[in-house]
Chains A and B, each alone.
Chain A
Amino acid sequence: MSGPAPANRLVVPVVVLAVLLAAPPFLSSYVLTLLTQSLIYAIVAMSLDLLLGYLGLPSLGHAAYLGVGAYSVGILTSRYGAGFGTVLPVGVGLALILAAVFGLLALRATGVYFLMITLALGMVAWGLAYRWVSLTQGDNGISGLPRPDVPLPWSLAGAIPFYYFALAGFLLALGVLWLIVHSPFGMSLVGVRESETRMRTLGYHVWLHKYLGFVISGGVAGFGGVLWAYYNGFVGPTDLDLSTSVEVLLMVALGGRATLLGPALGAGIIVFLKNLVSVYTQRWLLILGAAYIGTIVYAPEGIVGAVRRLSEATEPAPARPEA
Protein backbone atom coordinates (compact mmCIF):
# COMPACT_ATOMS: atom_id res chain seq x y z
CA MET A 1 0.00 0.00 0.00
CA SER A 2 2.67 2.49 0.97
CA GLY A 3 5.83 3.33 -0.91
CA PRO A 4 6.37 3.46 -4.66
CA ALA A 5 4.80 0.82 -6.86
CA PRO A 6 7.26 -1.85 -7.96
CA ALA A 7 8.44 -1.55 -11.53
CA ASN A 8 6.85 -4.78 -12.71
CA ARG A 9 3.45 -3.52 -11.60
CA LEU A 10 3.85 -0.60 -13.98
CA VAL A 11 4.41 -2.74 -17.08
CA VAL A 12 0.76 -3.44 -17.82
CA PRO A 13 -0.47 0.17 -17.33
CA VAL A 14 2.35 1.52 -19.53
CA VAL A 15 1.55 -0.94 -22.33
CA VAL A 16 -2.16 -0.09 -22.06
CA LEU A 17 -1.38 3.61 -22.20
CA ALA A 18 0.80 3.12 -25.30
CA VAL A 19 -2.04 1.23 -26.97
CA LEU A 20 -4.54 3.94 -26.01
CA LEU A 21 -2.25 6.58 -27.51
CA ALA A 22 -1.49 4.73 -30.73
CA ALA A 23 -4.80 3.00 -31.47
CA PRO A 24 -7.24 5.70 -32.72
CA PRO A 25 -6.22 5.81 -36.39
CA PHE A 26 -6.76 2.04 -36.62
CA LEU A 27 -10.16 1.94 -34.95
CA SER A 28 -13.60 2.21 -36.45
CA SER A 29 -15.42 5.35 -35.40
CA TYR A 30 -17.87 3.21 -33.42
CA VAL A 31 -15.14 1.62 -31.31
CA LEU A 32 -13.45 4.99 -30.88
CA THR A 33 -16.75 6.39 -29.60
CA LEU A 34 -17.07 3.60 -27.05
CA LEU A 35 -13.46 4.08 -25.99
CA THR A 36 -14.05 7.80 -25.45
CA GLN A 37 -17.13 7.02 -23.37
CA SER A 38 -15.11 4.49 -21.39
CA LEU A 39 -12.41 7.03 -20.58
CA ILE A 40 -14.94 9.55 -19.30
CA TYR A 41 -16.85 6.96 -17.29
CA ALA A 42 -13.52 5.74 -15.95
CA ILE A 43 -13.05 9.16 -14.32
CA VAL A 44 -16.40 8.84 -12.56
CA ALA A 45 -15.72 5.22 -11.58
CA MET A 46 -12.31 6.12 -10.14
CA SER A 47 -13.86 8.95 -8.17
CA LEU A 48 -16.35 6.50 -6.68
CA ASP A 49 -13.46 4.16 -5.94
CA LEU A 50 -12.05 6.77 -3.57
CA LEU A 51 -15.30 6.49 -1.63
CA LEU A 52 -16.16 2.81 -2.01
CA GLY A 53 -12.72 1.25 -2.29
CA TYR A 54 -10.55 3.39 -0.05
CA LEU A 55 -13.08 4.70 2.48
CA GLY A 56 -15.44 1.73 2.33
CA LEU A 57 -18.51 3.92 1.78
CA PRO A 58 -20.91 2.50 -0.83
CA SER A 59 -22.61 5.42 -2.57
CA LEU A 60 -25.61 4.87 -4.81
CA GLY A 61 -25.94 8.50 -5.73
CA HIS A 62 -22.76 9.23 -7.57
CA ALA A 63 -24.58 10.19 -10.76
CA ALA A 64 -25.65 13.39 -8.96
CA TYR A 65 -22.13 14.84 -9.17
CA LEU A 66 -21.72 13.72 -12.74
CA GLY A 67 -25.06 15.42 -13.38
CA VAL A 68 -24.03 18.70 -11.79
CA GLY A 69 -20.89 18.81 -13.92
CA ALA A 70 -22.85 17.93 -17.06
CA TYR A 71 -25.65 20.44 -16.43
CA SER A 72 -23.05 23.13 -15.74
CA VAL A 73 -21.88 22.64 -19.30
CA GLY A 74 -25.43 22.56 -20.62
CA ILE A 75 -26.71 25.64 -18.82
CA LEU A 76 -23.60 27.80 -19.00
CA THR A 77 -22.88 27.21 -22.67
CA SER A 78 -26.48 27.31 -23.94
CA ARG A 79 -27.56 30.35 -21.89
CA TYR A 80 -24.44 32.37 -21.45
CA GLY A 81 -22.18 31.08 -24.19
CA ALA A 82 -19.56 30.36 -21.57
CA GLY A 83 -16.28 28.82 -22.69
CA PHE A 84 -14.46 25.80 -21.40
CA GLY A 85 -12.27 27.98 -19.20
CA THR A 86 -15.35 29.07 -17.25
CA VAL A 87 -17.39 25.89 -17.42
CA LEU A 88 -14.70 23.58 -16.08
CA PRO A 89 -14.03 25.37 -12.78
CA VAL A 90 -17.71 26.14 -12.26
CA GLY A 91 -18.76 22.55 -13.00
CA VAL A 92 -16.17 21.04 -10.70
CA GLY A 93 -16.82 23.72 -8.08
CA LEU A 94 -20.58 23.09 -8.06
CA ALA A 95 -19.98 19.34 -7.78
CA LEU A 96 -17.69 20.01 -4.80
CA ILE A 97 -20.37 22.19 -3.21
CA LEU A 98 -23.10 19.63 -3.81
CA ALA A 99 -20.89 16.92 -2.30
CA ALA A 100 -20.14 19.21 0.65
CA VAL A 101 -23.88 19.56 1.32
CA PHE A 102 -24.83 15.94 0.61
CA GLY A 103 -21.86 14.76 2.67
CA LEU A 104 -23.18 16.54 5.74
CA LEU A 105 -26.37 14.50 5.44
CA ALA A 106 -25.04 11.17 4.21
CA LEU A 107 -22.14 10.85 6.67
CA ARG A 108 -24.53 10.81 9.59
CA ALA A 109 -25.14 7.19 8.63
CA THR A 110 -22.99 4.16 7.92
CA GLY A 111 -23.32 0.91 6.00
CA VAL A 112 -26.61 0.22 4.29
CA TYR A 113 -28.12 3.43 5.71
CA PHE A 114 -25.39 5.43 4.03
CA LEU A 115 -26.29 3.64 0.81
CA MET A 116 -29.97 4.52 1.25
CA ILE A 117 -29.28 8.19 1.97
CA THR A 118 -26.96 8.58 -1.03
CA LEU A 119 -29.62 6.84 -3.13
CA ALA A 120 -32.25 9.28 -1.90
CA LEU A 121 -30.00 12.31 -2.47
CA GLY A 122 -29.22 11.03 -5.95
CA MET A 123 -32.95 10.83 -6.64
CA VAL A 124 -33.36 14.40 -5.37
CA ALA A 125 -30.74 15.55 -7.90
CA TRP A 126 -32.48 13.58 -10.64
CA GLY A 127 -35.82 15.08 -9.59
CA LEU A 128 -34.42 18.59 -9.86
CA ALA A 129 -33.07 17.89 -13.33
CA TYR A 130 -36.41 16.44 -14.38
CA ARG A 131 -38.73 18.97 -12.78
CA TRP A 132 -36.87 22.28 -12.74
CA VAL A 133 -37.83 22.82 -16.34
CA SER A 134 -37.02 26.54 -16.51
CA LEU A 135 -33.40 25.76 -15.71
CA THR A 136 -32.85 22.29 -17.14
CA GLN A 137 -35.52 22.05 -19.87
CA GLY A 138 -36.78 18.99 -18.01
CA ASP A 139 -37.16 15.73 -19.84
CA ASN A 140 -36.03 17.25 -23.15
CA GLY A 141 -32.63 18.04 -21.77
CA ILE A 142 -30.28 20.58 -23.26
CA SER A 143 -28.96 19.71 -26.67
CA GLY A 144 -26.70 21.22 -29.28
CA LEU A 145 -23.81 21.77 -26.90
CA PRO A 146 -20.56 22.69 -28.62
CA ARG A 147 -17.27 20.88 -28.22
CA PRO A 148 -14.94 22.61 -25.76
CA ASP A 149 -13.00 25.60 -27.04
CA VAL A 150 -9.49 24.99 -25.85
CA PRO A 151 -6.45 27.01 -26.92
CA LEU A 152 -5.02 24.21 -29.04
CA PRO A 153 -3.85 24.36 -32.65
CA TRP A 154 -6.51 21.83 -33.67
CA SER A 155 -10.27 21.65 -33.18
CA LEU A 156 -11.89 19.16 -30.82
CA ALA A 157 -14.85 18.73 -33.15
CA GLY A 158 -13.51 15.52 -34.65
CA ALA A 159 -13.77 12.16 -32.95
CA ILE A 160 -10.05 11.54 -32.73
CA PRO A 161 -9.03 14.92 -31.23
CA PHE A 162 -11.84 14.63 -28.69
CA TYR A 163 -10.70 11.11 -27.84
CA TYR A 164 -7.26 12.48 -26.97
CA PHE A 165 -8.89 15.26 -25.00
CA ALA A 166 -10.83 12.66 -22.98
CA LEU A 167 -7.66 10.62 -22.55
CA ALA A 168 -5.87 13.69 -21.18
CA GLY A 169 -8.76 14.28 -18.76
CA PHE A 170 -8.63 10.64 -17.68
CA LEU A 171 -4.88 10.81 -17.07
CA LEU A 172 -5.28 14.02 -15.09
CA ALA A 173 -7.97 12.48 -12.87
CA LEU A 174 -5.91 9.32 -12.49
CA GLY A 175 -2.84 11.34 -11.51
CA VAL A 176 -4.71 13.40 -8.93
CA LEU A 177 -6.42 10.36 -7.42
CA TRP A 178 -3.23 8.31 -7.48
CA LEU A 179 -1.46 11.00 -5.53
CA ILE A 180 -4.29 11.26 -3.03
CA VAL A 181 -4.57 7.53 -2.33
CA HIS A 182 -0.81 7.24 -1.89
CA SER A 183 -0.57 10.29 0.35
CA PRO A 184 -0.71 10.23 4.15
CA PHE A 185 -4.34 11.35 3.83
CA GLY A 186 -5.08 8.43 1.49
CA MET A 187 -3.59 6.06 4.04
CA SER A 188 -5.89 7.55 6.66
CA LEU A 189 -8.90 6.77 4.45
CA VAL A 190 -7.88 3.12 4.36
CA GLY A 191 -7.46 3.18 8.14
CA VAL A 192 -11.00 4.52 8.50
CA ARG A 193 -12.26 1.72 6.25
CA GLU A 194 -10.50 -0.91 8.36
CA SER A 195 -11.28 0.32 11.89
CA GLU A 196 -12.98 3.57 12.77
CA THR A 197 -12.70 2.96 16.51
CA ARG A 198 -8.97 2.43 16.36
CA MET A 199 -8.52 5.51 14.18
CA ARG A 200 -10.45 7.58 16.72
CA THR A 201 -8.38 6.53 19.69
CA LEU A 202 -5.19 6.97 17.67
CA GLY A 203 -6.17 10.61 17.32
CA TYR A 204 -7.96 10.92 13.98
CA HIS A 205 -11.02 13.07 13.54
CA VAL A 206 -12.67 10.26 11.59
CA TRP A 207 -15.64 12.28 10.38
CA LEU A 208 -13.39 14.94 8.89
CA HIS A 209 -11.42 12.40 6.90
CA LYS A 210 -14.60 10.80 5.57
CA TYR A 211 -16.04 14.19 4.72
CA LEU A 212 -12.97 15.35 2.83
CA GLY A 213 -12.87 12.05 0.94
CA PHE A 214 -16.56 12.40 0.10
CA VAL A 215 -16.17 15.95 -1.19
CA ILE A 216 -13.07 15.19 -3.27
CA SER A 217 -14.84 12.18 -4.76
CA GLY A 218 -17.79 14.34 -5.74
CA GLY A 219 -15.52 16.95 -7.31
CA VAL A 220 -13.74 14.41 -9.49
CA ALA A 221 -17.08 12.93 -10.57
CA GLY A 222 -18.17 16.46 -11.51
CA PHE A 223 -15.08 16.76 -13.68
CA GLY A 224 -16.14 13.56 -15.43
CA GLY A 225 -19.61 15.03 -15.86
CA VAL A 226 -18.23 18.14 -17.56
CA LEU A 227 -16.38 15.98 -20.09
CA TRP A 228 -19.45 13.78 -20.54
CA ALA A 229 -21.69 16.67 -21.55
CA TYR A 230 -19.08 18.01 -23.96
CA TYR A 231 -18.74 14.56 -25.44
CA ASN A 232 -22.47 13.98 -25.91
CA GLY A 233 -23.30 17.54 -26.89
CA PHE A 234 -26.35 16.90 -24.76
CA VAL A 235 -27.37 16.64 -21.13
CA GLY A 236 -30.62 15.24 -19.79
CA PRO A 237 -32.11 13.66 -16.68
CA THR A 238 -31.12 10.17 -17.84
CA ASP A 239 -27.47 11.15 -17.29
CA LEU A 240 -28.12 11.18 -13.57
CA ASP A 241 -30.77 8.58 -13.02
CA LEU A 242 -30.37 5.64 -10.70
CA SER A 243 -29.14 3.21 -13.33
CA THR A 244 -26.14 5.49 -14.00
CA SER A 245 -25.20 5.31 -10.32
CA VAL A 246 -25.67 1.55 -10.33
CA GLU A 247 -23.53 1.19 -13.45
CA VAL A 248 -20.72 3.22 -11.87
CA LEU A 249 -20.93 1.15 -8.71
CA LEU A 250 -20.66 -2.00 -10.80
CA MET A 251 -17.65 -0.63 -12.69
CA VAL A 252 -15.85 -0.26 -9.37
CA ALA A 253 -16.90 -3.66 -8.02
CA LEU A 254 -16.15 -5.47 -11.27
CA GLY A 255 -12.76 -3.89 -11.85
CA GLY A 256 -11.62 -4.13 -8.26
CA ARG A 257 -12.11 -1.80 -5.33
CA ALA A 258 -9.25 0.32 -4.03
CA THR A 259 -7.15 -0.14 -7.17
CA LEU A 260 -8.14 2.96 -9.25
CA LEU A 261 -7.12 1.23 -12.49
CA GLY A 262 -9.56 -1.60 -11.75
CA PRO A 263 -12.60 0.69 -11.84
CA ALA A 264 -11.19 2.27 -15.01
CA LEU A 265 -11.04 -1.19 -16.57
CA GLY A 266 -14.52 -1.89 -15.21
CA ALA A 267 -15.76 1.28 -16.91
CA GLY A 268 -14.41 0.03 -20.24
CA ILE A 269 -15.99 -3.39 -19.82
CA ILE A 270 -19.39 -2.02 -18.82
CA VAL A 271 -19.49 0.59 -21.58
CA PHE A 272 -18.59 -1.94 -24.28
CA LEU A 273 -20.85 -4.64 -22.84
CA LYS A 274 -23.77 -2.26 -22.56
CA ASN A 275 -23.49 -1.14 -26.16
CA LEU A 276 -22.91 -4.60 -27.57
CA VAL A 277 -25.69 -6.19 -25.53
CA SER A 278 -28.25 -3.52 -26.34
CA VAL A 279 -27.92 -4.45 -30.00
CA TYR A 280 -29.57 -7.75 -29.12
CA THR A 281 -31.85 -6.96 -26.22
CA GLN A 282 -33.64 -4.19 -24.38
CA ARG A 283 -33.03 -5.96 -21.09
CA TRP A 284 -29.69 -4.32 -20.41
CA LEU A 285 -30.42 -3.82 -16.71
CA LEU A 286 -31.06 -7.54 -16.34
CA ILE A 287 -27.58 -8.27 -17.70
CA LEU A 288 -26.17 -5.56 -15.44
CA GLY A 289 -27.77 -7.15 -12.38
CA ALA A 290 -26.50 -10.58 -13.33
CA ALA A 291 -22.98 -9.18 -13.84
CA TYR A 292 -23.17 -7.57 -10.41
CA ILE A 293 -24.23 -10.77 -8.69
CA GLY A 294 -21.60 -12.73 -10.60
CA THR A 295 -18.90 -10.32 -9.49
CA ILE A 296 -19.90 -10.42 -5.84
CA VAL A 297 -20.11 -14.19 -5.79
CA TYR A 298 -17.11 -15.17 -7.91
CA ALA A 299 -14.69 -12.24 -7.69
CA PRO A 300 -15.50 -10.06 -4.67
CA GLU A 301 -12.15 -8.31 -5.06
CA GLY A 302 -12.86 -7.58 -8.72
CA ILE A 303 -10.63 -8.32 -11.69
CA VAL A 304 -7.58 -6.28 -10.72
CA GLY A 305 -7.89 -7.34 -7.08
CA ALA A 306 -7.89 -11.01 -8.07
CA VAL A 307 -4.93 -10.58 -10.45
CA ARG A 308 -2.95 -8.76 -7.77
CA ARG A 309 -3.66 -11.40 -5.18
CA LEU A 310 -2.41 -14.09 -7.52
CA SER A 311 0.73 -12.17 -8.47
CA GLU A 312 1.57 -11.10 -4.92
CA ALA A 313 2.42 -14.68 -4.05
CA THR A 314 5.54 -14.34 -6.19
CA GLU A 315 6.29 -10.68 -5.68
CA PRO A 316 8.41 -9.50 -2.74
CA ALA A 317 6.79 -6.55 -1.04
CA PRO A 318 9.12 -3.56 -0.78
CA ALA A 319 8.36 -1.27 2.12
CA ARG A 320 11.23 1.15 2.47
CA PRO A 321 10.89 4.47 0.62
CA GLU A 322 13.69 5.35 -1.76
CA ALA A 323 13.65 9.11 -1.31
Chain B
Amino acid sequence: MSPASASALSLSGLTKAFGGLRALDDVSLEIQPGERRAIIGPNGAGKTTLFSLVSGEQAPTGGRIALFGRDITRLAPHRRAALGLARTYQITNLFPRLTVLDNCLLAVQALSPVKLHLHRPLGRYRALFDRAEALLESVGLLAKRAAPVRDLSHGEQRQLEIALALAGTPRLLLLDEPTAGLALAESQMMVALLKGLDPAITILIIEHDMAVAFELTDRVTVLHYGRVVADGSARDVRADPLVQEIYLGAMGTA
Protein backbone atom coordinates (compact mmCIF):
# COMPACT_ATOMS: atom_id res chain seq x y z
CA MET B 1 0.00 0.00 0.00
CA SER B 2 1.63 3.26 -1.01
CA PRO B 3 1.45 6.17 1.41
CA ALA B 4 -0.19 8.35 -1.24
CA SER B 5 -3.29 6.19 -1.49
CA ALA B 6 -3.26 5.00 2.11
CA SER B 7 -5.82 5.89 4.73
CA ALA B 8 -4.69 8.38 7.33
CA LEU B 9 -5.68 5.85 9.94
CA SER B 10 -6.67 2.28 9.37
CA LEU B 11 -7.87 0.02 12.16
CA SER B 12 -8.57 -3.61 11.44
CA GLY B 13 -10.09 -5.98 13.94
CA LEU B 14 -8.81 -3.88 16.84
CA THR B 15 -9.60 -5.51 20.18
CA LYS B 16 -8.72 -4.59 23.74
CA ALA B 17 -9.72 -6.83 26.59
CA PHE B 18 -9.32 -6.05 30.28
CA GLY B 19 -9.69 -9.49 31.76
CA GLY B 20 -13.08 -10.70 30.59
CA LEU B 21 -14.26 -7.24 29.59
CA ARG B 22 -13.87 -6.34 25.95
CA ALA B 23 -13.48 -2.57 26.00
CA LEU B 24 -13.00 -2.70 22.24
CA ASP B 25 -14.29 -5.59 20.20
CA ASP B 26 -13.15 -6.10 16.62
CA VAL B 27 -13.21 -2.45 15.61
CA SER B 28 -12.35 -1.68 11.99
CA LEU B 29 -12.21 1.88 10.68
CA GLU B 30 -10.76 3.73 7.71
CA ILE B 31 -10.14 7.46 8.10
CA GLN B 32 -9.19 9.22 4.87
CA PRO B 33 -6.53 11.95 4.77
CA GLY B 34 -8.08 15.30 5.56
CA GLU B 35 -11.23 13.72 6.93
CA ARG B 36 -12.93 15.01 10.07
CA ARG B 37 -14.52 12.12 11.89
CA ALA B 38 -16.44 12.09 15.16
CA ILE B 39 -16.57 9.09 17.45
CA ILE B 40 -19.63 9.11 19.64
CA GLY B 41 -21.10 6.68 22.06
CA PRO B 42 -22.29 6.46 25.64
CA ASN B 43 -19.90 6.37 28.58
CA GLY B 44 -17.87 3.19 28.63
CA ALA B 45 -18.29 2.60 24.91
CA GLY B 46 -14.52 2.35 24.49
CA LYS B 47 -13.84 5.71 22.85
CA THR B 48 -10.91 6.78 25.02
CA THR B 49 -9.51 3.24 24.97
CA LEU B 50 -9.54 3.49 21.19
CA PHE B 51 -7.46 6.67 21.38
CA SER B 52 -5.01 5.12 23.82
CA LEU B 53 -4.47 2.20 21.47
CA VAL B 54 -3.91 4.51 18.50
CA SER B 55 -1.50 6.73 20.45
CA GLY B 56 0.32 3.67 21.78
CA GLU B 57 -0.27 4.27 25.48
CA GLN B 58 -1.99 0.89 25.69
CA ALA B 59 -1.25 -2.22 23.67
CA PRO B 60 -4.12 -3.89 21.82
CA THR B 61 -5.12 -7.46 22.61
CA GLY B 62 -5.60 -8.09 18.90
CA GLY B 63 -5.89 -6.39 15.55
CA ARG B 64 -3.80 -3.94 13.62
CA ILE B 65 -3.29 -0.16 13.42
CA ALA B 66 -1.84 1.57 10.38
CA LEU B 67 -0.95 5.25 10.16
CA PHE B 68 -0.71 6.60 6.61
CA GLY B 69 -0.13 3.09 5.34
CA ARG B 70 2.48 2.17 7.91
CA ASP B 71 1.84 -0.53 10.49
CA ILE B 72 2.31 1.08 13.91
CA THR B 73 0.63 -1.60 16.03
CA ARG B 74 3.80 -2.31 18.01
CA LEU B 75 5.41 1.14 17.78
CA ALA B 76 6.26 3.11 20.95
CA PRO B 77 4.17 6.27 21.56
CA HIS B 78 7.04 8.68 20.88
CA ARG B 79 7.74 7.00 17.53
CA ARG B 80 4.08 7.44 16.57
CA ALA B 81 4.30 11.11 17.49
CA ALA B 82 7.31 11.43 15.22
CA LEU B 83 5.18 10.00 12.39
CA GLY B 84 2.69 12.83 12.77
CA LEU B 85 0.27 11.64 15.42
CA ALA B 86 -0.85 13.93 18.24
CA ARG B 87 -3.56 13.66 20.86
CA THR B 88 -5.29 15.63 23.57
CA TYR B 89 -6.78 14.22 26.74
CA GLN B 90 -10.28 14.21 28.10
CA ILE B 91 -8.89 14.77 31.57
CA THR B 92 -6.49 17.63 30.98
CA ASN B 93 -2.94 16.30 30.92
CA LEU B 94 -0.53 19.23 31.03
CA PHE B 95 2.48 20.23 33.12
CA PRO B 96 0.52 22.13 35.78
CA ARG B 97 3.45 23.57 37.75
CA LEU B 98 5.20 24.94 34.68
CA THR B 99 4.30 28.14 32.92
CA VAL B 100 2.12 28.23 29.83
CA LEU B 101 5.17 29.10 27.72
CA ASP B 102 7.26 26.27 29.19
CA ASN B 103 4.44 23.83 28.44
CA CYS B 104 4.49 25.01 24.86
CA LEU B 105 8.28 24.89 24.63
CA LEU B 106 8.25 21.28 25.76
CA ALA B 107 5.80 20.48 23.00
CA VAL B 108 7.70 22.48 20.37
CA GLN B 109 11.07 20.84 21.03
CA ALA B 110 9.53 17.35 21.36
CA LEU B 111 10.08 16.33 17.75
CA SER B 112 13.36 18.16 17.28
CA PRO B 113 16.84 16.84 18.03
CA VAL B 114 17.22 20.00 20.12
CA LYS B 115 15.49 18.17 22.97
CA LEU B 116 18.74 16.34 23.70
CA HIS B 117 20.93 19.45 23.62
CA LEU B 118 22.45 20.12 27.01
CA HIS B 119 25.26 22.51 26.21
CA ARG B 120 23.28 25.72 25.65
CA PRO B 121 20.56 27.41 27.68
CA LEU B 122 17.08 26.96 26.24
CA GLY B 123 16.79 30.76 26.18
CA ARG B 124 19.24 30.85 23.27
CA TYR B 125 16.96 28.85 20.99
CA ARG B 126 15.01 31.75 19.64
CA ALA B 127 13.21 29.71 16.97
CA LEU B 128 11.64 27.53 19.67
CA PHE B 129 10.32 30.58 21.48
CA ASP B 130 8.98 32.09 18.26
CA ARG B 131 7.15 28.87 17.43
CA ALA B 132 5.81 28.47 20.98
CA GLU B 133 4.56 32.04 21.08
CA ALA B 134 2.96 31.73 17.63
CA LEU B 135 1.12 28.64 18.89
CA LEU B 136 -0.04 30.44 22.01
CA GLU B 137 -1.25 33.32 19.91
CA SER B 138 -3.21 30.96 17.66
CA VAL B 139 -5.12 29.59 20.66
CA GLY B 140 -5.45 33.01 22.30
CA LEU B 141 -3.17 32.36 25.28
CA LEU B 142 -0.17 34.56 24.50
CA ALA B 143 -1.06 37.04 27.24
CA LYS B 144 -0.97 34.21 29.79
CA ARG B 145 2.39 32.83 28.77
CA ALA B 146 4.13 33.54 32.08
CA ALA B 147 1.33 32.11 34.23
CA PRO B 148 1.67 28.66 35.78
CA VAL B 149 -0.77 26.32 34.07
CA ARG B 150 -2.50 25.41 37.32
CA ASP B 151 -3.61 29.05 37.59
CA LEU B 152 -5.43 28.92 34.25
CA SER B 153 -9.17 28.44 33.99
CA HIS B 154 -10.41 25.07 32.83
CA GLY B 155 -11.28 26.54 29.44
CA GLU B 156 -7.80 27.99 29.01
CA GLN B 157 -6.27 24.65 29.92
CA ARG B 158 -8.36 22.99 27.21
CA GLN B 159 -7.07 25.56 24.72
CA LEU B 160 -3.51 24.88 25.82
CA GLU B 161 -4.13 21.15 25.26
CA ILE B 162 -4.86 22.00 21.64
CA ALA B 163 -1.74 24.17 21.36
CA LEU B 164 0.45 21.35 22.68
CA ALA B 165 -1.08 18.87 20.26
CA LEU B 166 -0.52 21.22 17.33
CA ALA B 167 3.10 21.95 18.23
CA GLY B 168 4.48 19.05 16.25
CA THR B 169 2.43 19.96 13.12
CA PRO B 170 0.58 16.65 13.27
CA ARG B 171 -0.97 14.94 10.27
CA LEU B 172 -3.47 13.05 12.41
CA LEU B 173 -4.94 14.74 15.46
CA LEU B 174 -6.92 12.84 18.11
CA LEU B 175 -9.12 15.15 20.18
CA ASP B 176 -10.64 13.57 23.28
CA GLU B 177 -13.71 15.64 24.18
CA PRO B 178 -12.20 19.07 23.59
CA THR B 179 -15.30 20.81 24.93
CA ALA B 180 -15.68 18.65 28.06
CA GLY B 181 -16.64 20.77 31.04
CA LEU B 182 -16.66 24.03 29.10
CA ALA B 183 -19.29 26.70 29.50
CA LEU B 184 -21.31 27.53 26.40
CA ALA B 185 -19.25 30.57 25.39
CA GLU B 186 -15.97 28.70 25.93
CA SER B 187 -17.32 25.78 23.97
CA GLN B 188 -18.19 28.03 21.05
CA MET B 189 -14.68 29.50 21.14
CA MET B 190 -13.24 26.00 21.07
CA VAL B 191 -15.41 25.04 18.09
CA ALA B 192 -14.28 28.15 16.24
CA LEU B 193 -10.67 27.32 17.06
CA LEU B 194 -11.02 23.76 15.78
CA LYS B 195 -12.84 24.86 12.65
CA GLY B 196 -9.97 27.18 11.86
CA LEU B 197 -7.35 24.40 11.88
CA ASP B 198 -5.46 23.56 8.71
CA PRO B 199 -7.87 21.46 6.56
CA ALA B 200 -4.98 19.16 5.68
CA ILE B 201 -4.93 17.82 9.24
CA THR B 202 -6.94 14.65 9.64
CA ILE B 203 -8.96 14.88 12.82
CA LEU B 204 -10.59 12.19 14.88
CA ILE B 205 -12.70 13.65 17.64
CA ILE B 206 -14.49 12.10 20.59
CA GLU B 207 -17.40 14.30 21.49
CA HIS B 208 -20.32 14.04 23.86
CA ASP B 209 -21.99 17.18 22.64
CA MET B 210 -23.94 16.17 19.53
CA ALA B 211 -24.19 19.72 18.25
CA VAL B 212 -20.42 20.10 18.43
CA ALA B 213 -19.78 16.72 16.83
CA PHE B 214 -22.11 17.41 13.92
CA GLU B 215 -20.77 20.91 13.43
CA LEU B 216 -17.12 19.89 13.26
CA THR B 217 -17.31 16.69 11.28
CA ASP B 218 -18.83 15.26 8.17
CA ARG B 219 -18.89 11.68 9.28
CA VAL B 220 -19.75 10.00 12.55
CA THR B 221 -18.88 6.59 13.93
CA VAL B 222 -20.94 5.27 16.82
CA LEU B 223 -19.36 2.96 19.37
CA HIS B 224 -21.43 0.92 21.78
CA TYR B 225 -19.98 -1.63 24.20
CA GLY B 226 -16.75 -1.57 22.25
CA ARG B 227 -18.31 -2.24 18.86
CA VAL B 228 -19.00 -0.04 15.88
CA VAL B 229 -22.80 0.00 15.61
CA ALA B 230 -23.26 2.77 13.06
CA ASP B 231 -21.09 4.71 10.69
CA GLY B 232 -22.10 7.38 8.22
CA SER B 233 -22.99 10.99 7.62
CA ALA B 234 -24.30 13.02 10.50
CA ARG B 235 -27.79 12.91 9.03
CA ASP B 236 -27.77 9.13 8.54
CA VAL B 237 -26.50 8.50 12.02
CA ARG B 238 -29.07 10.82 13.50
CA ALA B 239 -31.78 8.94 11.63
CA ASP B 240 -30.53 5.48 12.55
CA PRO B 241 -33.13 3.99 14.90
CA LEU B 242 -30.58 1.92 16.81
CA VAL B 243 -28.47 5.00 17.48
CA GLN B 244 -31.50 6.95 18.58
CA GLU B 245 -32.37 4.19 20.98
CA ILE B 246 -28.97 3.65 22.55
CA TYR B 247 -27.58 7.12 22.52
CA LEU B 248 -29.50 10.06 21.24
CA GLY B 249 -32.66 8.83 22.82
CA ALA B 250 -31.04 8.60 26.18
CA MET B 251 -29.60 12.09 25.84
CA GLY B 252 -32.66 13.77 24.29
CA THR B 253 -32.51 14.56 20.59
CA ALA B 254 -29.74 16.92 19.56
Contacts and interface: CB of A to CB of B under 8 A. Distances in A.
Given A184-B117, A185-B115, A197 B123 contact: no
Contacts of A202: 78, 81, 86, 106-107, 110-111, 164, 167-168
Given A198-B95, A201-B57, A185 B78 contact: no
A201 B55 contact: yes
A49 B250 CA distance: 54
A183 B120 contact: yes
A183 B97 contact: no
A190 B121 contact: no
A133 interface: no
A321 B126 contact: yes
Contacts of B214: none
A194 B99 CA distance: 12
Given A1-B99, A201-B81, A184 B114 contact: yes
B9 interface: no
B86 A317 contact: no
B129 A321 contact: yes
Chain B, interface size: which category?
Answer: 35 or more
A122 interface: no
Interface string A1-31: 1111000000000000000000000000000
Contacts of B101: 2, 319
Given A2-B102, A317-B99, A204 B115 contact: yes
Chain A, interface size: which category?
Answer: 35 or more
Contacts of A308: none
Nearest to B88: A201
Contacts of B168: 202-203
B152 interface: no
A75 B87 CA distance: 54
A183 B122 contact: yes
B95 A200 contact: no
A200 B93 CA distance: 12
A323 interface: yes
Interface string B2-23: 0000000000000000000000
Given A1-B98, A194-B98, A187 B111 contact: no
B122 A2 contact: yes
A205 to B, nearest CB: 5
A188 B119 contact: no
B78 A197 contact: no
B200 interface: no
A3 B123 contact: yes
A27 B149 CA distance: 47
B145 A203 contact: no
A186 B98 CA distance: 13
Interface in A190-249: 190-191, 194-195, 197-206, 209, 212, 216
| Most chain B CB neighbours (cut-off 10 Å) among A183, A200, A209 | A183
A322 B55 CA distance: 37
A139 to B, nearest CB: 40
Contact of B145 (A188, A194, A319): A319
A198 B104 CA distance: 12
Contacts of B98: 1, 190-191, 194
Interface in B73-129: 76-78, 81-82, 86-87, 89, 93-99, 101-102, 105-107, 109-111, 114-126, 128-129
Contacts of A203: 78, 81-82, 110-111, 168
Q: Closest 3 A-B residue pairs measured CB to CB?
A: A203-B81, A321-B123, A185-B118
Interface of A: 1-4, 179-180, 182-188, 190-191, 194-195, 197-206, 209, 212, 216, 317-323
Given A209-B115, A321-B129, 9 more contacts: A182-B121, A183-B119, A184-B125, A188-B116, A190-B98, A198-B164, A202-B110, A203-B110, A321-B125
28 contacts: A2-B122, A3-B123, A179-B121, A182-B121, A184-B116, A184-B118, A184-B122, A187-B109, A188-B115, A188-B116, A191-B98, A194-B96, A198-B164, A201-B56, A201-B78, A201-B81, A201-B87, A202-B78, A202-B86, A202-B107, A202-B164, A202-B168, A203-B111, A216-B118, A318-B146, A319-B145, A321-B123, A323-B124
